[in-house]
A and B are shown apart, each in its own frame.
Chain A
Amino acid sequence: MATYDPLFNILGLRNWCDSGSAGSAPASMADLLVSTGVDKETSILDLPFPSLDALNEACGAFWQSRDVTTGVEGGFLAMKDALRVVLDPLTQPLSWILDGALYLFQSTPWFIMVPFLAVVVYFASKSVKLVGFVVVCLISLAFVDLYDHAMQTLAIIFVCAFLCVLFGVPIGIAMSRSNRLQRIIIPILDMLQTLPPFVYLIPLIFLFSVTEPKLYGIAIILYAIVPVIRLTDLGIRLVDKDVIEAADSFGMTDQQKLFGVQIPLALPNIMAGVNQTIMMSLAMVVIASLVSAPGLGVLVLRGIRNLELGVGLVSGLAIVLLAIILDRVTKAALARVNAAQKQ
């Protein structure tokens, strides 16, 4: 006899329960004990939580917990084909862009790539010191033969961070203009941000082929787009009300106000969001090596799988170097924006 039997008896649901599948054959140890007539001392302290499994024991018409997981799985698998028809062509360009970027970064010889990156860093930061630091870092990465892996990682980050900004900034702007939209999107962002990164990969593996780059591309973008959306929304909402009023009083149109006042004044916040987005892309690109993303993450994974301590640690440190480079360069760019518009 299960703990919750009396409950169903009192409610008069006994017949409904017994019409279910359970009851004919004893399924659990407890049932067996009951059926063999061994009396067991029960105390109130043993009262189980009325979970699905506990209720199922008393009443066979109830689901078991594993029905929930199989239900979710079944539901997802049923939707899968329909989702694929829509999502596959939509996300196909992402695969092409990632393939293209990976090819470009790897096929460009190092003696062109390193000076090119140095020039990019100079224009972003206007700091010779930082350029020197970046060049030294890249050279030392290349020196221990991690250049190719580092370039793969960089290529993926560039593409994903760029797409995050491309989609994230307009979403943030739309959010800042409508409180309703903000109320809808914020819970989604919260979910994306708190969902463990590994969990993203699970449905994606079922949706897309593991050999396609867009699988990890989508995972990285979903994970990294959150800060740029949040900070764009925040930045535009924080623009000084007096300046907005002044813009109105001069008869600016909404468009003039957005591009002439709101975005420029929100730029420090937006840039902070871009910095965060790049750092989160880097974090995710390492995890995404589980689903065939190339780059330094692959080496880390090899270190874990094969217990190759040295490979794992060196590539881990290489990731740290990349992170420092990306962080310093974007922060330097941010500082320039900030300096230009001190209040």
Chain B
Amino acid sequence: MSDKVQVSIRNLYKIFGTNPEEALRYVLGGMSKADLLKQHGHVLGLKDINVDIKEGEITVIMGLSGSGKSTLIRHLNRLIEPTSGEVFVDGDNVLDYGEDKLRELRRQVMSMVFQKFALLPHRTVAENAGTTLGVRGVAKTDYLKEADKWLDRVGLRGFGNHYPHQLSGGMQQRVGIARALTSNSPIMLMDEAFSALDPLIRTDMQDLLLELQKELHKTIVFITHDLDEALKLADHLVILKDGFVVQQGEPQHILLHPNDPYIEDFVSDINRARVLRVRSIMAPLTKGLVPTDTHGEINIDDTLESMIAKSGGDTSYTYLVTRDGNPVGTLDMSSLVLALVPRVASEEGARQY
């Protein structure tokens, strides 16, 4: 994992309507989304989006329906043209691309996974998985070989000759993921990829994605409306509301320090013990001294849930936190319990703002 920014979105605006340029002037002049719709009949889709997507990370864009997240992801490969702004991929502004260069980008650099799978019903699973290579002109025997490899990898060994309608929803989405992986592109765009699946299969697919990511280190942009999913997958979390970014950053940080009542609302409903990890709430070692009176050693990436189980619920315990075997801090079980309480409950009236 490097710190290199692979995709960078700068000052992106998208306005839907008959005359977006004119409407953009009103928006830049400070008109709100509701006023724009009421007075000029234009819909403000995205407003001043700035996001850096780092290479090899999973960037999750989260928001409720209508928040513009699906619109945003379609700007990355220009399935939707912005009203104004810039999208840089590896330093190049995608919006300057002509038709041919754009096609090359879609073929070689970005692949996409869709909420409704969007498989071709008249082609077999293997042919579907190989579509991304097929469009580049790779011979069928070659792309079927590559497709079979990735179908194995997503757990669909032996299904290559089936047709999509013979598979369940979860399996169809595995084909969708295999199709994106077969293209061997560095960036994967996943548009609510797991939202159409039932909860158990969704968890399976999330695990599959994390497992693949451990090996492949792709740059993944993942869209979801489910905060649990977002927190599970995200290295970097972007929260959208009504077309603008409310907060973005490390997911644990957002969870512990929501900067907006909207996000507090969101995070108050989730199982914090499962999401939060020791590293987010531990106390660093004072002056490098390793305390001797701890009740055991724990890993920095353990979840709080596993800590509660380990301590047997006793809040008087203190643990030594280690990273790769070296002590880095201490964890007081009582601070752990406090961290489980959402801030919105302790700060009454936060919603007034």
Contact = CB atoms under 8 A, between A and B. Distances in A.
Interface of A: 240, 242-243, 245-246, 248-253, 256, 260-261, 264-265, 267, 340-343
B103 A265 contact: no
B297 interface: no
A265 B132 contact: no
Contacts of A252: 135
B120 A243 contact: yes
Contact of B79 (A240, A245, A256, A264): A245
13 contacts: A242-B116, A242-B118, A246-B114, A248-B79, A249-B106, A249-B111, A250-B131, A250-B135, A251-B104, A251-B105, A253-B135, A340-B163, A343-B121
Given A251-B106, A260-B134, 19 more contacts: A243-B119, A243-B120, A248-B106, A249-B77, A249-B79, A249-B106, A249-B111, A250-B106, A250-B132, A250-B183, A251-B103, A251-B104, A253-B103, A261-B120, A264-B122, A265-B120, A265-B122, A341-B122, A342-B163
B118 A246 contact: yes
Interface string B90-123: 0000000000001111110011101010111110
Contacts of A246: 112, 114, 118
Interface of B: 77, 79, 102-107, 110-112, 114, 116, 118-122, 131-132, 134-136, 163, 165, 183, 189
Nearest to A257: B135
Contacts of A341: 121-122, 163, 165
Contacts of A250: 106-107, 111-112, 131-132, 135, 183
Contacts of B135: 250-253, 256
Contacts of B114: 242, 245-246
A267 B120 CA distance: 13
Given A250-B111, A251-B103, A245 B121 contact: no
A249 B119 CA distance: 13
A245 B111 CA distance: 12
A264 B112 contact: no
Contacts of B104: 251
B186 to A, nearest CB: 15
A265 B123 CA distance: 10
Contacts of B112: 246, 249-250
B69 to A, nearest CB: 16
Contacts of A264: 120, 122
Contacts, number: 62
Consensus secondary structure, chain A interface:
helix
3 tightest CB-CB pairs across the interface, nearest first?
A: A251-B106, A246-B118, A251-B107
A342 B121 contact: yes
Contacts of B121: 265, 341-343
B164 to A, nearest CB: 8
Contacts of B189: 249
A343 B104 CA distance: 30
Q: Which of B110, B111, B116 has the most CB of A within 10 A?
A: B116
Given A248-B79, A249-B79, A340 B118 contact: no
Contacts of A267: 122
Nearest to B116: A242
Nearest to B133: A250
B118 A243 contact: yes
A265 to B, nearest CB: 7
Contacts of A343: 121, 165
Contacts of A256: 135
B99 to A, nearest CB: 9
A265 B164 CA distance: 14
Contacts of B77: 249
Contacts of B110: 249
A203 to B, nearest CB: 43
A261 B135 CA distance: 12
A249 to B, nearest CB: 4
A340 B23 CA distance: 48
A251 B121 CA distance: 19
A275 B130 CA distance: 34
Contacts of A240: 118
B222 to A, nearest CB: 15
Given A249-B77, A250-B131, A340 B122 contact: yes
A73 B103 CA distance: 57
B78 to A, nearest CB: 9
Q: Which of A240, A246, A250, A340 has the most CB of B within 10 A?
A: A250
Contacts of B116: 242
B105 to A, nearest CB: 8
A252 B107 CA distance: 8
Q: Which of B77, B79, B118 has the most CB of A within 10 A?
A: B118
A260 B123 CA distance: 10
Contacts of A253: 103, 135
A167 B102 CA distance: 34
Nearest to B176: A246
Given A250-B132, A251-B135, A245 B118 contact: yes
A265 B114 CA distance: 18
Contacts of B136: 251
A248 B105 CA distance: 11
Contacts of B122: 264-265, 267, 340-341
A342 B134 CA distance: 23
A249 B221 CA distance: 15
A106 B4 CA distance: 77
A50 B179 CA distance: 72
Contacts of A340: 122, 163
A72 B190 CA distance: 64
A294 B131 CA distance: 50
B237 to A, nearest CB: 24
Nearest to A240: B118
A252 B136 CA distance: 8
A340 B107 CA distance: 28
Given A251-B103, A261-B120, A264-B120, A342 B165 contact: yes
Contacts of B118: 240, 242-243, 245-246
Contacts of B120: 243, 260-261, 264-265
A341 B121 CA distance: 5
Q: Which of A246, A256, A265 has the most CB of B within 10 A?
A: A246
Contacts of B107: 250-251
